[in-house]
Copies of this chain bind each other. A is one copy, B any other.
Amino acid sequence: MRAFGGQVASQALAAAGAEVDPAQRPTSLHAYFVRAGDTTRPITYSAEAVDEGPTSSIRRVTATQSGKAILTLEASFRGPDADEPTWPESPEPVSMPDLEQAADDVSRWAPAGSPAAQWLEEQSKRMRFELRFAGIPAFLAGHNGRALRGQRFWLRTLDPLLDAPLQHACALTYVSDLYLVSTALAKHGIGRRRTGVAAASLDHTVWFHRPFRVDEWVLYEQRSPTSAGGRGLSAGRILNQAGEVIATVRQEVLLRVSGS
């Protein structure tokens, strides 16, 4: 079975941070998905230091299977001063969807017992994440042939996490890879599993702006600003319940529609 890219990126970030002073938090990661991983075989993560200092580090990780690279990742860590308020902040005004309303929305577009509800429940259990879509999800919009400019969903882990910034960053990295391909497709009213559609994630970038917990509800907003020449850029930002941006996500996706 094809490995979930977010899982490989998440494990690579864990490998990158394993030998970094825990006082240094992850501030960003840049990854390329080189080829599909295979869940039936072990993945080897090799980490090396590009730079190591008392308040910042940069690490590089290569994930390989049978000697071939499946992912390459570079990550940056800063601290303990990284979170000092040495700069005027000016949060952008944001409109947050209501969390309880989102729970109602889910039951409207995916009624209990429907295939969509079952699929979401299975996915939630497998990933150990709870998801609540505010409005229609991209994967359903695409299947209905309806173009969608973007989507938003609340998420949190099903299980509590430790008070370790690296663990929360790894969990957020895992879930940050969800639906970015669907979002790029849904912009054109195309479903992920439509015949003749081939799509894959090419790279993945996350900037972590503020301390956060992902075992508390956070909001993930996704859209796709640009596509051309068989490639699209998907964009995400993740906010805490106070409406502060905790992470920014970018992913380029490969898009092919045969016969179009």
The yes or no answer to A13 lying at the interface (CB within 8 A) is: no
Asked if B34 contacts A50 (CB within 8 A), the reply is: yes
Task: Give Cα A30 to B50, complex, Å.
Answer: 14
Q: Select one of B32, B58, B88, B205 contacting A58, CB under 8 A.
A: B32
Closest Cβ neighbor of A32 among chain B residues: B58
Q: A223 to nearest B CB, angstroms?
A: 11
Asked if A209 contacts B228 (CB within 8 A), the reply is: yes
Q: Select one of B78, B231, B255 contacting A209, CB under 8 A.
A: B231
- Contacts known (A72-B58, A250-B205); A82 close to B188, Cβ less than 8 A: no
Chain A 14-38 near chain B by CB (<8 Å), digits 1 or 0:
0000000000000110101011000
The yes or no answer to A163 lying at the interface (CB within 8 A) is: no
The yes or no answer to A89 lying at the interface (CB within 8 A) is: yes
Task: Give Cα A74 to B29, complex, Å.
Answer: 12
Question: Chain B residues near A50 (CB, 8 Å)?
Answer: 32, 34, 62, 69, 72
- Contacts known (A50-B62, A60-B72); A28 close to B252, Cβ less than 8 A: yes
Task: Give Cα A76 to B31, complex, Å.
Answer: 11
Task: Give Cα A209 to B230, complex, Å.
Answer: 9
What is the interface size of chain A, counting residues whose CB is below 8 A from a CB of the partner?
55
Asked if A229 contacts B90 (CB within 8 A), the reply is: no
Asked if B30 contacts A51 (CB within 8 A), the reply is: no
Chain A 178-217 near chain B by CB (<8 Å), digits 1 or 0:
0000000001100000000000001101010110000000
Q: Select one of B35, B226, B227, B248 contacting A51, CB under 8 A.
A: B35
Asked if B188 contacts A90 (CB within 8 A), the reply is: yes
Task: Give Cα A77 to B207, complex, Å.
Answer: 23
The yes or no answer to A115 lying at the interface (CB within 8 A) is: no
The yes or no answer to A96 lying at the interface (CB within 8 A) is: no
The residue among A27, A74, A87, A255 with the most chain B CB atoms within 10 A of its own CB is: A87
The yes or no answer to A233 lying at the interface (CB within 8 A) is: yes
The yes or no answer to A232 lying at the interface (CB within 8 A) is: yes
The yes or no answer to A92 lying at the interface (CB within 8 A) is: yes
8 more A-B contacts (CB under 8 A) besides A27-B231, A86-B257? Answer: A28-B203, A30-B32, A58-B72, A72-B74, A87-B227, A87-B256, A92-B226, A209-B228
A residues in contact (CB < 8 Å) with B: 27-28, 30, 32, 34-35, 50-51, 58, 60, 62, 69, 72, 74, 76, 78, 81-90, 92, 187-188, 202-203, 205, 207, 209-210, 225-233, 237, 244-245, 248, 250, 252, 255-258, 260
